[in-house]
Structure 1
Amino acid sequence: MPTSRTSLDLASRKAEVDLARLSLSKCAVIAPFDGVITRRLIKQGQLLKMNDVAFEMADFSDLKVRLRVPERASVALKAGQPVQYRADALPGKDFTATVNRVSPVVDARSGTVEVVVAVDNTTGALRPGLFSRLDIAYDHVAAATLLPKSAVLTNERESSVFVIRDGKAARVAVKLGYESGHQVQVLQGLSPGVEVITAGHTSLTDGAPVDAIKAVDRELAAVKS
Protein backbone atom coordinates (compact mmCIF):
# COMPACT_ATOMS: atom_id res chain seq x y z
CA MET A 1 0.00 0.00 0.00
CA PRO A 2 1.54 3.40 -0.83
CA THR A 3 2.41 5.62 2.11
CA SER A 4 0.35 8.78 2.40
CA ARG A 5 1.95 12.19 2.34
CA THR A 6 0.58 12.91 5.84
CA SER A 7 2.38 9.89 7.32
CA LEU A 8 5.66 10.93 5.67
CA ASP A 9 5.36 14.45 7.07
CA LEU A 10 4.65 13.07 10.57
CA ALA A 11 7.66 10.74 10.45
CA SER A 12 9.85 13.60 9.25
CA ARG A 13 8.68 15.85 12.07
CA LYS A 14 9.32 13.10 14.66
CA ALA A 15 12.83 12.64 13.28
CA GLU A 16 13.45 16.37 13.56
CA VAL A 17 12.22 16.36 17.18
CA ASP A 18 14.44 13.37 18.04
CA LEU A 19 17.41 15.09 16.43
CA ALA A 20 16.71 18.29 18.37
CA ARG A 21 16.48 16.33 21.63
CA LEU A 22 19.78 14.64 20.85
CA SER A 23 21.44 17.99 20.16
CA LEU A 24 20.02 19.42 23.39
CA SER A 25 21.28 16.47 25.43
CA LYS A 26 24.79 17.10 24.12
CA CYS A 27 24.60 20.71 25.28
CA ALA A 28 24.39 19.71 28.95
CA VAL A 29 27.64 20.05 30.91
CA ILE A 30 28.00 16.91 33.02
CA ALA A 31 30.93 16.47 35.41
CA PRO A 32 32.65 13.09 35.47
CA PHE A 33 32.52 13.06 39.30
CA ASP A 34 30.45 14.46 42.18
CA GLY A 35 31.82 17.65 43.67
CA VAL A 36 31.50 21.39 44.18
CA ILE A 37 31.96 24.13 41.59
CA THR A 38 34.80 26.29 42.87
CA ARG A 39 35.00 28.68 39.89
CA ARG A 40 32.82 29.60 36.90
CA LEU A 41 34.70 30.75 33.80
CA ILE A 42 31.77 31.40 31.43
CA LYS A 43 28.78 33.70 31.22
CA GLN A 44 25.21 33.06 30.11
CA GLY A 45 24.88 33.26 26.32
CA GLN A 46 28.63 32.99 25.72
CA LEU A 47 29.78 30.91 22.77
CA LEU A 48 32.30 28.21 23.59
CA LYS A 49 34.93 26.64 21.42
CA MET A 50 36.01 23.03 21.55
CA ASN A 51 37.80 22.20 24.83
CA ASP A 52 37.10 25.60 26.41
CA VAL A 53 37.07 25.38 30.22
CA ALA A 54 33.65 26.24 31.63
CA PHE A 55 33.95 25.40 35.33
CA GLU A 56 36.49 24.29 37.90
CA MET A 57 35.33 21.58 40.28
CA ALA A 58 36.70 19.80 43.31
CA ASP A 59 35.69 16.84 45.44
CA PHE A 60 36.02 17.82 49.13
CA SER A 61 34.73 14.55 50.60
CA ASP A 62 38.23 13.07 50.90
CA LEU A 63 40.84 15.73 51.63
CA LYS A 64 44.60 15.22 51.73
CA VAL A 65 47.05 16.97 54.02
CA ARG A 66 50.72 17.08 53.05
CA LEU A 67 53.27 17.74 55.77
CA ARG A 68 56.98 17.24 56.27
CA VAL A 69 58.41 15.57 59.37
CA PRO A 70 62.01 15.09 60.53
CA GLU A 71 63.60 11.91 59.23
CA ARG A 72 64.02 10.60 62.81
CA ALA A 73 60.26 10.79 63.37
CA SER A 74 59.37 9.44 59.93
CA VAL A 75 60.67 5.94 60.70
CA ALA A 76 57.91 5.55 63.30
CA LEU A 77 55.14 6.48 60.86
CA LYS A 78 53.33 4.09 58.56
CA ALA A 79 50.19 3.97 56.45
CA GLY A 80 46.99 3.38 58.39
CA GLN A 81 48.02 5.10 61.63
CA PRO A 82 45.21 7.21 63.16
CA VAL A 83 45.65 10.97 63.23
CA GLN A 84 43.94 13.50 65.48
CA TYR A 85 42.89 16.31 63.14
CA ARG A 86 41.56 19.74 64.08
CA ALA A 87 40.99 22.99 62.21
CA ASP A 88 41.37 26.39 63.91
CA ALA A 89 38.25 27.65 62.14
CA LEU A 90 36.17 24.86 63.74
CA PRO A 91 37.14 24.81 67.43
CA GLY A 92 36.08 21.83 69.48
CA LYS A 93 35.56 19.54 66.48
CA ASP A 94 37.69 16.47 65.77
CA PHE A 95 37.83 14.81 62.37
CA THR A 96 38.76 11.27 61.41
CA ALA A 97 42.11 11.07 59.64
CA THR A 98 44.74 8.44 58.91
CA VAL A 99 48.25 8.37 57.51
CA ASN A 100 47.82 7.65 53.82
CA ARG A 101 51.42 7.48 52.62
CA VAL A 102 54.94 8.04 53.92
CA SER A 103 57.47 8.99 51.26
CA PRO A 104 60.41 6.59 50.98
CA VAL A 105 62.71 9.50 50.09
CA VAL A 106 64.38 11.98 52.48
CA ASP A 107 64.68 15.52 51.15
CA ALA A 108 68.41 16.22 51.07
CA ARG A 109 68.02 19.97 51.60
CA SER A 110 65.69 19.91 54.62
CA GLY A 111 66.29 16.44 56.04
CA THR A 112 62.55 15.86 56.16
CA VAL A 113 60.14 13.26 54.78
CA GLU A 114 56.78 14.02 53.17
CA VAL A 115 53.76 12.43 54.84
CA VAL A 116 50.29 12.42 53.26
CA VAL A 117 47.30 12.27 55.63
CA ALA A 118 43.78 11.43 54.40
CA VAL A 119 40.97 13.35 56.13
CA ASP A 120 37.33 12.19 56.10
CA ASN A 121 35.24 15.20 55.08
CA THR A 122 31.97 13.51 54.17
CA THR A 123 30.13 16.11 56.26
CA GLY A 124 31.55 18.90 54.08
CA ALA A 125 32.56 20.98 57.10
CA LEU A 126 36.20 21.33 56.01
CA ARG A 127 37.53 23.41 53.15
CA PRO A 128 40.90 23.26 51.42
CA GLY A 129 43.37 25.80 52.74
CA LEU A 130 42.22 25.80 56.39
CA PHE A 131 44.94 26.13 59.02
CA SER A 132 45.03 22.70 60.64
CA ARG A 133 46.67 20.92 63.58
CA LEU A 134 47.55 17.24 63.46
CA ASP A 135 48.66 14.92 66.25
CA ILE A 136 50.05 11.51 65.31
CA ALA A 137 50.57 9.08 68.18
CA TYR A 138 53.25 6.71 66.92
CA ASP A 139 54.35 5.36 70.30
CA HIS A 140 52.99 5.04 73.85
CA VAL A 141 55.31 5.42 76.84
CA ALA A 142 54.00 4.41 80.26
CA ALA A 143 54.99 6.55 83.27
CA ALA A 144 57.07 8.98 81.20
CA THR A 145 58.90 11.83 82.96
CA LEU A 146 57.86 15.07 81.27
CA LEU A 147 59.58 18.44 81.33
CA PRO A 148 58.36 21.87 80.14
CA LYS A 149 60.17 22.81 76.92
CA SER A 150 60.69 26.30 78.31
CA ALA A 151 63.07 24.86 80.91
CA VAL A 152 65.46 23.32 78.37
CA LEU A 153 68.70 25.02 77.33
CA THR A 154 70.38 23.59 74.26
CA ASN A 155 73.81 24.07 72.73
CA GLU A 156 75.83 22.20 70.14
CA ARG A 157 76.91 19.52 72.60
CA GLU A 158 74.00 18.84 74.94
CA SER A 159 70.67 19.83 76.43
CA SER A 160 70.42 20.90 80.06
CA VAL A 161 68.12 22.41 82.69
CA PHE A 162 68.60 24.37 85.91
CA VAL A 163 67.28 22.92 89.15
CA ILE A 164 67.40 24.51 92.60
CA ARG A 165 69.55 22.90 95.26
CA ASP A 166 69.90 24.58 98.65
CA GLY A 167 68.90 27.97 97.22
CA LYS A 168 71.35 27.79 94.33
CA ALA A 169 70.96 27.06 90.64
CA ALA A 170 72.46 23.76 89.54
CA ARG A 171 72.85 22.98 85.87
CA VAL A 172 72.01 19.39 85.00
CA ALA A 173 72.58 17.71 81.63
CA VAL A 174 69.56 15.81 80.33
CA LYS A 175 68.83 13.39 77.55
CA LEU A 176 65.52 14.09 75.87
CA GLY A 177 63.04 11.87 74.07
CA TYR A 178 59.64 12.51 72.49
CA GLU A 179 58.01 15.94 72.34
CA SER A 180 54.31 16.53 72.93
CA GLY A 181 52.89 20.03 72.80
CA HIS A 182 54.73 22.20 75.35
CA GLN A 183 56.38 19.24 77.03
CA VAL A 184 59.30 16.95 76.26
CA GLN A 185 60.18 13.52 77.64
CA VAL A 186 63.26 13.19 79.88
CA LEU A 187 65.18 9.94 79.38
CA GLN A 188 68.15 10.66 81.63
CA GLY A 189 69.32 13.34 84.05
CA LEU A 190 66.23 14.11 86.14
CA SER A 191 64.09 12.16 88.57
CA PRO A 192 60.30 12.52 88.74
CA GLY A 193 59.17 15.34 91.04
CA VAL A 194 62.31 17.48 90.73
CA GLU A 195 61.43 21.15 90.32
CA VAL A 196 63.11 22.97 87.44
CA ILE A 197 63.56 26.63 86.54
CA THR A 198 61.50 27.71 83.53
CA ALA A 199 62.02 31.49 83.43
CA GLY A 200 65.00 33.73 83.98
CA HIS A 201 67.40 30.83 83.56
CA THR A 202 69.08 31.94 80.34
CA SER A 203 71.30 34.34 82.28
CA LEU A 204 71.98 31.99 85.20
CA THR A 205 75.33 30.37 85.93
CA ASP A 206 75.92 27.13 87.74
CA GLY A 207 75.92 27.73 91.50
CA ALA A 208 74.33 31.20 91.37
CA PRO A 209 72.07 31.97 94.37
CA VAL A 210 68.42 32.33 93.35
CA ASP A 211 65.03 33.20 94.78
CA ALA A 212 62.35 30.85 93.44
CA ILE A 213 58.83 31.99 92.64
CA LYS A 214 56.27 29.20 92.47
CA ALA A 215 54.43 29.00 89.16
CA VAL A 216 51.67 26.86 87.67
CA ASP A 217 52.18 23.07 87.50
CA ARG A 218 55.07 23.23 90.00
CA GLU A 219 57.33 24.93 87.47
CA LEU A 220 59.69 27.53 88.91
CA ALA A 221 60.82 30.96 87.83
CA ALA A 222 64.09 32.20 89.30
CA VAL A 223 65.90 35.48 89.72
CA LYS A 224 69.39 36.06 91.00
CA SER A 225 69.58 36.95 94.65
Structure 2
Amino acid sequence: AEELYKSNMMSAKDYSNAKKEYSNALSEFNERKQILELYGSSSDNLDATYRVIAPRCGFIVQRDLNAGMHIRMDNSATIFIISDLKTVWVWINVHESDMAKVHDGDHVSVTTVTYPGKIFSGVINRMGTTLDPASRVIRSRCELDNSAGLLKPEMFITATITSQTKETVLAVSEKAVVLENNRYYVMRQAKPNEFEKVQVVVGKKFSDMCEVQGLSEGDIVIEEGALFAMTDYNLK
Protein backbone atom coordinates (compact mmCIF):
# COMPACT_ATOMS: atom_id res chain seq x y z
CA ALA A 1 0.00 0.00 0.00
CA GLU A 2 2.88 2.36 0.78
CA GLU A 3 4.47 1.81 -2.65
CA LEU A 4 1.12 2.41 -4.36
CA TYR A 5 0.69 5.63 -2.39
CA LYS A 6 4.17 6.87 -3.28
CA SER A 7 3.48 6.08 -6.94
CA ASN A 8 0.30 8.18 -6.77
CA MET A 9 -1.78 5.07 -7.48
CA MET A 10 -3.65 5.27 -4.14
CA SER A 11 -5.40 8.19 -2.54
CA ALA A 12 -4.38 9.50 0.86
CA LYS A 13 -7.71 8.33 2.32
CA ASP A 14 -7.31 4.76 1.03
CA TYR A 15 -3.71 4.72 2.26
CA SER A 16 -4.83 5.84 5.72
CA ASN A 17 -7.52 3.13 5.84
CA ALA A 18 -5.03 0.49 4.74
CA LYS A 19 -2.63 1.52 7.51
CA LYS A 20 -5.42 1.22 10.09
CA GLU A 21 -6.42 -2.24 8.84
CA TYR A 22 -2.80 -3.37 8.97
CA SER A 23 -2.41 -2.01 12.48
CA ASN A 24 -5.56 -3.80 13.65
CA ALA A 25 -4.49 -7.08 12.03
CA LEU A 26 -1.03 -6.80 13.61
CA SER A 27 -2.56 -6.18 17.04
CA GLU A 28 -4.82 -9.22 16.67
CA PHE A 29 -1.88 -11.34 15.52
CA ASN A 30 0.22 -10.32 18.51
CA GLU A 31 -2.68 -11.01 20.87
CA ARG A 32 -3.17 -14.51 19.49
CA LYS A 33 0.58 -15.10 19.58
CA GLN A 34 0.65 -14.21 23.27
CA ILE A 35 -2.27 -16.57 23.94
CA LEU A 36 -0.47 -19.41 22.16
CA GLU A 37 2.71 -18.76 24.13
CA LEU A 38 0.68 -18.65 27.34
CA TYR A 39 -0.51 -22.21 26.68
CA GLY A 40 2.94 -23.45 25.76
CA SER A 41 2.71 -23.22 21.98
CA SER A 42 3.97 -20.75 19.40
CA SER A 43 2.89 -18.96 16.25
CA ASP A 44 4.68 -21.65 14.25
CA ASN A 45 2.37 -24.35 15.62
CA LEU A 46 -1.18 -23.18 14.96
CA ASP A 47 -2.61 -26.72 15.15
CA ALA A 48 -1.55 -27.28 18.74
CA THR A 49 -3.72 -29.56 20.87
CA TYR A 50 -4.60 -28.52 24.40
CA ARG A 51 -5.80 -30.95 27.02
CA VAL A 52 -8.61 -29.90 29.34
CA ILE A 53 -8.81 -32.31 32.27
CA ALA A 54 -12.24 -32.92 33.78
CA PRO A 55 -12.50 -32.94 37.59
CA ARG A 56 -14.54 -36.17 37.53
CA CYS A 57 -15.48 -39.11 35.32
CA GLY A 58 -18.65 -39.08 33.25
CA PHE A 59 -20.18 -38.27 29.90
CA ILE A 60 -20.42 -34.87 28.23
CA VAL A 61 -24.13 -34.01 28.09
CA GLN A 62 -23.76 -30.32 27.17
CA ARG A 63 -21.07 -28.30 25.39
CA ASP A 64 -20.80 -24.52 25.60
CA LEU A 65 -17.57 -24.23 23.62
CA ASN A 66 -17.25 -23.02 20.03
CA ALA A 67 -14.37 -22.59 17.61
CA GLY A 68 -12.40 -19.42 18.27
CA MET A 69 -13.41 -19.07 21.91
CA HIS A 70 -10.71 -18.23 24.46
CA ILE A 71 -10.46 -20.32 27.61
CA ARG A 72 -9.18 -18.18 30.44
CA MET A 73 -8.17 -19.25 33.91
CA ASP A 74 -9.94 -16.25 35.41
CA ASN A 75 -13.20 -17.00 33.57
CA SER A 76 -15.65 -19.19 35.49
CA ALA A 77 -17.94 -19.78 32.49
CA THR A 78 -18.89 -23.44 31.99
CA ILE A 79 -17.52 -25.06 28.83
CA PHE A 80 -18.76 -28.62 29.37
CA ILE A 81 -21.36 -30.26 31.60
CA ILE A 82 -20.41 -33.79 32.64
CA SER A 83 -22.89 -36.26 34.08
CA ASP A 84 -22.41 -39.66 35.68
CA LEU A 85 -25.01 -41.76 33.83
CA LYS A 86 -24.52 -44.89 35.94
CA THR A 87 -27.64 -43.76 37.78
CA VAL A 88 -30.30 -41.78 35.91
CA TRP A 89 -33.48 -39.94 36.80
CA VAL A 90 -36.68 -40.70 34.95
CA TRP A 91 -39.45 -38.09 35.03
CA ILE A 92 -42.95 -39.56 34.85
CA ASN A 93 -46.12 -37.63 34.04
CA VAL A 94 -48.86 -38.66 36.47
CA HIS A 95 -52.38 -37.66 35.45
CA GLU A 96 -54.46 -35.64 37.85
CA SER A 97 -56.94 -38.50 38.27
CA ASP A 98 -54.12 -40.82 39.44
CA MET A 99 -52.30 -38.44 41.77
CA ALA A 100 -53.85 -39.81 44.96
CA LYS A 101 -52.74 -43.34 44.03
CA VAL A 102 -49.03 -42.57 43.54
CA HIS A 103 -46.69 -42.16 46.52
CA ASP A 104 -43.00 -42.05 47.33
CA GLY A 105 -41.59 -45.58 47.40
CA ASP A 106 -44.00 -47.02 44.82
CA HIS A 107 -42.35 -49.55 42.50
CA VAL A 108 -41.87 -48.49 38.86
CA SER A 109 -41.32 -50.69 35.80
CA VAL A 110 -39.87 -48.78 32.84
CA THR A 111 -39.80 -49.90 29.21
CA THR A 112 -38.42 -48.20 26.10
CA VAL A 113 -38.95 -48.45 22.36
CA THR A 114 -35.21 -48.92 21.92
CA TYR A 115 -35.07 -52.09 24.03
CA PRO A 116 -38.43 -53.86 23.63
CA GLY A 117 -39.08 -56.50 26.26
CA LYS A 118 -36.41 -55.18 28.65
CA ILE A 119 -37.72 -53.83 31.95
CA PHE A 120 -35.82 -51.31 34.08
CA SER A 121 -36.94 -51.26 37.72
CA GLY A 122 -36.89 -48.45 40.25
CA VAL A 123 -38.96 -46.62 42.84
CA ILE A 124 -40.62 -43.21 43.06
CA ASN A 125 -38.35 -41.02 45.18
CA ARG A 126 -39.96 -37.64 44.61
CA MET A 127 -43.44 -36.42 43.83
CA GLY A 128 -43.89 -33.04 42.22
CA THR A 129 -45.80 -30.27 43.94
CA THR A 130 -47.11 -28.34 40.94
CA LEU A 131 -49.78 -29.42 38.47
CA ASP A 132 -49.26 -28.43 34.84
CA PRO A 133 -52.31 -26.30 33.96
CA ALA A 134 -52.26 -27.32 30.29
CA SER A 135 -51.64 -31.07 30.40
CA ARG A 136 -53.14 -31.62 33.89
CA VAL A 137 -50.23 -33.84 34.95
CA ILE A 138 -47.79 -33.73 37.82
CA ARG A 139 -44.20 -34.90 37.44
CA SER A 140 -42.81 -37.66 39.64
CA ARG A 141 -39.18 -38.76 39.70
CA CYS A 142 -37.82 -42.29 39.62
CA GLU A 143 -34.17 -43.28 40.01
CA LEU A 144 -32.89 -46.15 37.86
CA ASP A 145 -29.66 -48.11 37.79
CA ASN A 146 -27.95 -47.53 34.44
CA SER A 147 -24.60 -49.21 35.01
CA ALA A 148 -24.92 -50.85 31.57
CA GLY A 149 -25.27 -47.42 29.95
CA LEU A 150 -28.37 -48.35 27.95
CA LEU A 151 -30.52 -45.38 28.97
CA LYS A 152 -29.63 -42.07 27.34
CA PRO A 153 -30.62 -38.48 28.19
CA GLU A 154 -33.90 -37.30 26.60
CA MET A 155 -35.14 -40.84 25.82
CA PHE A 156 -38.90 -41.43 25.94
CA ILE A 157 -40.07 -44.21 28.25
CA THR A 158 -43.28 -45.90 29.35
CA ALA A 159 -43.67 -46.36 33.10
CA THR A 160 -45.96 -48.69 35.03
CA ILE A 161 -46.37 -47.71 38.68
CA THR A 162 -47.37 -50.32 41.26
CA SER A 163 -48.97 -48.54 44.19
CA GLN A 164 -48.11 -49.66 47.70
CA THR A 165 -51.66 -48.84 48.72
CA LYS A 166 -53.77 -51.98 48.53
CA GLU A 167 -57.21 -51.48 47.00
CA THR A 168 -59.84 -54.22 46.80
CA VAL A 169 -62.07 -54.08 43.75
CA LEU A 170 -64.67 -56.35 42.20
CA ALA A 171 -63.52 -57.79 38.88
CA VAL A 172 -64.78 -60.26 36.29
CA SER A 173 -63.30 -61.81 33.19
CA GLU A 174 -63.30 -59.56 30.14
CA LYS A 175 -65.14 -62.34 28.29
CA ALA A 176 -68.14 -61.84 30.59
CA VAL A 177 -68.59 -58.17 29.63
CA VAL A 178 -70.57 -57.37 26.47
CA LEU A 179 -70.73 -53.93 24.86
CA GLU A 180 -74.20 -53.06 23.59
CA ASN A 181 -75.34 -49.59 22.45
CA ASN A 182 -72.32 -47.95 24.14
CA ARG A 183 -73.15 -49.62 27.46
CA TYR A 184 -71.59 -52.61 29.19
CA TYR A 185 -73.63 -55.61 30.38
CA VAL A 186 -73.11 -59.01 31.97
CA MET A 187 -75.41 -62.01 32.31
CA ARG A 188 -75.88 -62.62 36.05
CA GLN A 189 -77.49 -65.69 37.56
CA ALA A 190 -80.82 -64.75 39.17
CA LYS A 191 -81.99 -68.28 39.98
CA PRO A 192 -80.65 -71.74 39.22
CA ASN A 193 -80.61 -72.11 35.41
CA GLU A 194 -81.95 -68.56 35.02
CA PHE A 195 -79.86 -65.51 34.12
CA GLU A 196 -80.65 -61.82 33.84
CA LYS A 197 -79.06 -58.95 31.94
CA VAL A 198 -77.33 -56.42 34.24
CA GLN A 199 -75.71 -53.14 33.24
CA VAL A 200 -72.26 -52.52 34.74
CA VAL A 201 -69.66 -49.77 34.77
CA VAL A 202 -66.23 -50.92 33.62
CA GLY A 203 -63.16 -49.55 35.39
CA LYS A 204 -59.50 -50.54 35.25
CA LYS A 205 -58.34 -53.47 33.15
CA PHE A 206 -55.51 -55.77 34.19
CA SER A 207 -54.43 -58.99 32.52
CA ASP A 208 -57.67 -60.67 31.30
CA MET A 209 -59.81 -59.17 34.07
CA CYS A 210 -61.60 -55.84 34.39
CA GLU A 211 -63.01 -53.91 37.31
CA VAL A 212 -66.81 -53.58 37.33
CA GLN A 213 -69.41 -51.72 39.35
CA GLY A 214 -73.01 -52.92 39.50
CA LEU A 215 -72.40 -56.43 40.81
CA SER A 216 -72.01 -57.84 44.30
CA GLU A 217 -69.36 -60.17 45.62
CA GLY A 218 -70.42 -63.76 45.01
CA ASP A 219 -72.57 -63.03 41.95
CA ILE A 220 -72.28 -65.69 39.25
CA VAL A 221 -71.94 -64.44 35.66
CA ILE A 222 -71.60 -66.16 32.32
CA GLU A 223 -68.05 -66.01 30.99
CA GLU A 224 -67.90 -68.34 27.98
CA GLY A 225 -70.65 -67.59 25.47
CA ALA A 226 -71.84 -64.41 27.20
CA LEU A 227 -72.62 -62.75 23.86
CA PHE A 228 -74.81 -65.64 22.67
CA ALA A 229 -76.61 -65.82 26.02
CA MET A 230 -77.34 -62.08 25.88
CA THR A 231 -78.56 -62.30 22.29
CA ASP A 232 -80.94 -65.08 23.27
CA TYR A 233 -82.07 -63.05 26.30
CA ASN A 234 -82.85 -60.02 24.10
CA LEU A 235 -85.02 -62.13 21.79
CA LYS A 236 -87.32 -63.21 24.60
TM-score grouping bracket, smaller chain normalisation: 0.5 to 0.7
Aligned to 1:96: 121
Distance 1:95 1:171 in 2: 44
Distance 2:122 2:90 in 1: 10
Aligned to 2:143: 118
Q: Secondary structure at the match of 1:72?
A: helix
- Please report how far the alpha carbon of residue 72 of structure 1 lies from its aligned counterpart in structure 2 after TM superposition: 3.1
Distance 1:47 1:131, change over 3 A: closer
Give 1:46-195 correspondences, 5 Å limit: 47-50=68-71, 57-138=82-163, 139-141=165-167, 145-148=171-174, 151=177, 160-163=184-187, 172-180=198-206, 183-189=209-215, 194-195=221-222
Kept in 1: contact 2:176–2:222 (CA 8 A): no
TM superposition score normalised by structure 2: 0.53
Letter in 2 for 1:188: G
TM superposition score normalised by structure 1: 0.55
Can you give the 5+ residue segments of structure 1 that lack an aligned partner in the other structure?
A: 1-21, 211-225
Kept in 2: contact 1:71–1:112 (CA 8 A): yes
Q: Which residue among 30, 42, 62 is the counterpart of 2:53?
A: 30
Q: Secondary structure at the match of 1:104?
A: coil
Greater Cα offset, 173-182 or 80-89: 173-182
- Please report how far the alpha carbon of residue 48 of structure 1 lies from its aligned counterpart in structure 2 after TM superposition: 3.0
Kept in 2: contact 1:88–1:130 (CA 8 A): no
Kept in 2: contact 1:79–1:98 (CA 8 A): yes
More helix per residue? 2
More strand per residue? 1
Kept in 2: contact 1:85–1:96 (CA 8 A): yes
Distance 2:121 2:161 in 1: 12
Cα root mean square deviation, aligned: 4.9
Distance 1:88 1:61 in 2: 20
Q: How many residues align?
A: 184
Letter in 1 for 2:151: L
Q: Secondary structure at the match of 1:74?
A: helix
Distance 2:63 2:131 in 1: 39
- Please report how far the alpha carbon of residue 180 of structure 1 lies from its aligned counterpart in structure 2 after TM superposition: 3.2
Distance 1:200 1:142, change over 3 A: closer
Kept in 2: contact 1:97–1:119 (CA 8 A): yes
Distance 1:57 1:155 in 2: 58
**Overall identity of the aligned pairs, in %:** 24
Distance 1:60 1:198 in 2: 53
Can you give the 5+ residue segments of structure 2 that lack an aligned partner in the other structure?
A: 1-37, 41-49, 190-194
Letter in 2 for 1:172: V
Distance 2:102 2:80 in 1: 38
